[in-house]
Amino acid sequence: MKITLQMSVIMAAVFATLCLGVAITGFSALDGITDPVQRADASGFAWFWAFLGAVAVGFGGLGLWLARTDPDREDA
């Protein structure tokens, strides 16, 4: 299966939105946790999803950059 560059950028945007949404939900839920061990675990979980979202944003940005600077692009 061959994925086009534009499709990979769209998939990266969807994945980044999902990951960052989970991270925001995790960070917002930290206020209600009183146990320090559970709070630390939840914080690590939220940071993990934030990292995944940042990686997806980075790859999506790289894909956009490649799409705009490729001189051999077919749909130019």
Residue type, 6: Q
| 56-76: pLDDT as tens digits | 999 999 999 998 887 776 654
* Burial class of residue 23 (count of CB atoms within 10 Å of its CB; 0-12, 13-18, 19+): buried
| 21-47: pLDDT as tens digits | 999 999 999 999 999 999 999 999 999
Residue 76: the pLDDT is: 47
**Residue 4, SS3 per DSSP:** coil
Is 0.75 topped by the overall pTM? yes
